[in-house]
Structure 1
Amino acid sequence: MSWFSCIGKSHKKSKEKPEKRKEESSLSEKLKLKPLLDMKKEILKDGADHISAQTFAFRELAVATKNFRNDCLLGEGGFGRVYKGRLESTNQIVAIKQLDRNGLQGNREFLVEVLMLSLLHHPNLVNLIGYCADGDQRLLVYEYMPLGSLEDHLHDLPPDKKRLDWNARMKIAAGAAKGLEYLHDKANPPVIYRDLKCSNILLGEGYHPKLSDFGLAKLGPVGDKTHVSTRVMGTYGYCAPEYAMTGQLTLKSDVYSFGVVLLEIITGRKAIDNSKGVGEHNLVAWARPLFKDRRKFQQMADPMLQGQYPTRGLYQALAVASMCVQEQPTMRPLVADVVTALTYLAAQKYDPDSQPVQSFHLAPATPPRTRNRTAGLRKAKVED
């Protein structure tokens, strides 16, 4: 089911103001896509009155990025390149994402992103400032997140880069979970993010996390429906197994992806790492047998932490991760329960000067796959 069939057309006469209808129609015409009616009503009952994002001329954004110079380049993803820029009109520093016209994502994903981030607002979702749809140019303008992505702080770090400590990791995990909770529980109908991964969690000052990149987001099932069916999209290593096999997407698909991210935060390992030994390429497959033996939990902690973490906090965080990556979606927790557990963990500040430093090792290679295990999430305990 596509975004458009989820929203559908309204057969009732619109009561919206003419200028609002004109604004939405203008966006749809620019993108050469059919108009979307009653967006506020369908996507978020208490959302914005209209598409709040500004429109920019391509020239403005070219000036802001010094004509997209390489020294302004922040990174590159499935959508295209992201540049740091300064808006001439407001002197504001922004991040400008330019659609790669030959890339994997196109007009539909661009429109979804504009609509989602114009109508959904939360402290843990990145703020969309505006967009450009001049001719065949497609650009998105976001608030600038000075600390980059979570991936930048976990993987392939240069020797001089500061490693994330335990407190920062739990703060990031709890904040990302709150952003996901907003999409699942506050949006109506719920929104399935579908592309949760470390590179899509951006960090502001003080390691404040925000979810970004909503081009693959889908409206979730409503009423008696249990799932939405769609082509499989996302990133290998983060996709829930049932979604990858059947294309059936649920809120629990996002919970699985979050569990993979939480494992990355705890272990410092990548979701997929072909440089590892046999049996350790896939993070979840490597971790599952270790979840069974709490004597091995400390071997799962990121060596970069150098033992500076609370033993109890580590065990509880691993308990949350293990339940999120259960193979059966019905065995995974609701994201609200994940938020409860991680908010508690984030509030338990670890002080290496007053608390013991743990011994740390590298974990062993992966034994054969083992059966699933269930546990109560609110207490975040793992069976011995």
Structure 2
Amino acid sequence: MEFAVEVEILARVRHKNLLSLRGYCAEGQERLIVYDYMPNLSLLSHLHGQHSAECLLDWKRRMTIAIGSAEGIAFGILLLELATGKKPLEKLSATVKRTITDWALPLACERKFSELADPKLNGKYNEEELKRVVFVSLVCAQNQPERRPTMLDAIELLKGESKERLSELENDELFKAPPAVDYNDGSFVAEDSSEFISEDRGEGREPGSDREVREIVNENTHDS
């Protein structure tokens, strides 16, 4: 049933930077989904997979993807992945996991943006753009929907079109004092990412949400 719901959601997705679902198979124990062939592979493979070490995604390409992929599905998490090169969920131990937002928010509050940048970029990024990406990503991923910006506002902020809006964003309450996080009880998963980050079992998320984001067509990378 969960697979059928996920297929239905994926079939409805329409975005110029997201692959459309071509078909699926649900026979016996097989569960497969079919997309067009990606000659440049997926964003996932370039950030975390077989091509991540090559760092074909320079900062300019990452900003192009960030602005071009704006939609409501886990957009804040995607921005953080592009900026930091980290996975959405990090295992600290066999029983403790930390979300990318829990790692990034304290550093953003302390304005330690160089520690947030993907090391594979080797310092080759625009500092002001990185700061904007980090701030926008975290306000988009916060757990209070009414405080998240609209996609149009997010794009305007990413492009740096309004200095006044950027100043308001930088002084947002979210970035004044990071919440205390206790990872010692062995079961913590942060609330502020519960709508975006799932456990391995797929609980606590909207079916298809992370997969939709990860199937973004990377038109800006070199041909494989």
| 1:336 lines up with 2:152 in the alignment | yes
Q: CA distance change for structure 1 residues 148 and 323 in 2, over 3 Å: closer, same or farther?
A: same
| 1:110 lines up with 2:7 in the alignment | yes
* Cα distance between partner residues in 2 of 1:380 and 1:317: 15
Task: Indicate the residue corresponding to 1:35 in structure 2.
Answer: none
Which structure 2 residue ranges, 5 or more long, are not aligned? 177-224
Task: Indicate the residue corresponding to 1:71 in structure 2.
Answer: none
Q: CA distance change for structure 1 residues 309 and 144 in 2, over 3 Å: closer, same or farther?
A: same
* Cα distance between partner residues in 1 of 2:155 and 2:146: 18
User: Of residues 309, 314, 317 in structure 1, which corresponds to 2:133?
Assistant: 317
Task: Indicate the residue corresponding to 2:182 in structure 1.
Answer: none
Matched AA of 2:99: N
Does the 8 Å contact 1:129/1:143 carry over to 2?
A: yes
**How far apart are 1:136 and its partner, in Å?**
10
Q: CA distance change for structure 1 residues 170 and 160 in 2, over 3 Å: closer, same or farther?
A: closer
**How far apart are 1:108 and its partner, in Å?**
4.1
Matched AA of 1:173: A
Which structure 1 residue ranges, 5 or more long, are not aligned? 1-103, 182-253, 348-375
Does the 8 Å contact 2:66/2:79 carry over to 1?
A: yes
Does the 8 Å contact 1:333/1:377 carry over to 2?
A: no
* Cα distance between partner residues in 1 of 2:21 and 2:66: 22
**How far apart are 1:165 and its partner, in Å?**
0.6
* Cα distance between partner residues in 1 of 2:84 and 2:61: 14
* Cα distance between partner residues in 2 of 1:272 and 1:138: 24
C-alpha offsets along residues 122-180 of structure 1, whole Å, 9 cap, x if unaligned?
42232344567899988654322222221211125468634421011111111211xx2
Does the 8 Å contact 1:270/1:283 carry over to 2?
A: yes
* Cα distance between partner residues in 1 of 2:99 and 2:28: 43
User: Of residues 48, 55, 58 in structure 2, which corresponds to 1:155?
Assistant: 48
TM-score, scaled relative to structure 2: 0.60
Q: Which has the higher helix share?
A: 2
**How far apart are 1:272 and its partner, in Å?**
1.1
Alpha-carbon RMSD? 3.7
Task: Indicate the residue corresponding to 2:219 in structure 1.
Answer: none
Matched AA of 1:327: N
Does the 8 Å contact 1:166/1:308 carry over to 2?
A: yes
Q: CA distance change for structure 1 residues 136 and 146 in 2, over 3 Å: closer, same or farther?
A: same
Q: CA distance change for structure 1 residues 110 and 380 in 2, over 3 Å: closer, same or farther?
A: same
Matched AA of 2:44: E
| 1:382 lines up with 2:170 in the alignment | yes
Task: Indicate the residue corresponding to 2:203 in structure 1.
Answer: none
Structure 2 counterparts to residues 1-384 of structure 1, below 5 A = 105-114=2-11, 116-117=12-13, 121-129=14-22, 140-157=33-50, 161-177=54-70, 180=71, 254=73, 257-274=74-91, 281-294=98-111, 296-342=112-158, 344=159, 377=165, 381-383=169-171
Give the match's secondary structure for 1:106: helix
Q: CA distance change for structure 1 residues 380 and 175 in 2, over 3 Å: closer, same or farther?
A: farther
Structure 1 segments of 4 or more deviating over 4 A?
Answer: 129-141, 156-160, 376-381
Q: CA distance change for structure 1 residues 160 and 136 in 2, over 3 Å: closer, same or farther?
A: closer
Q: CA distance change for structure 1 residues 160 and 297 in 2, over 3 Å: closer, same or farther?
A: closer
Q: Using CA pairs below 8 Å that are at least 6 residues apart, which structure has the higher relative contact order? A: 2
Give the match's secondary structure for 1:126: coil
Amino-acid identity (%): 37
TM-score, scaled relative to structure 1: 0.37
**How far apart are 1:290 and its partner, in Å?**
1.6
* Cα distance between partner residues in 2 of 1:300 and 1:136: 41
* Cα distance between partner residues in 2 of 1:157 and 1:135: 30
C-alpha offsets along residues 259-297 of structure 1, whole Å, 9 cap, x if unaligned?
122111111111111158xx9832111111222222x11
Q: CA distance change for structure 1 residues 330 and 154 in 2, over 3 Å: closer, same or farther?
A: same
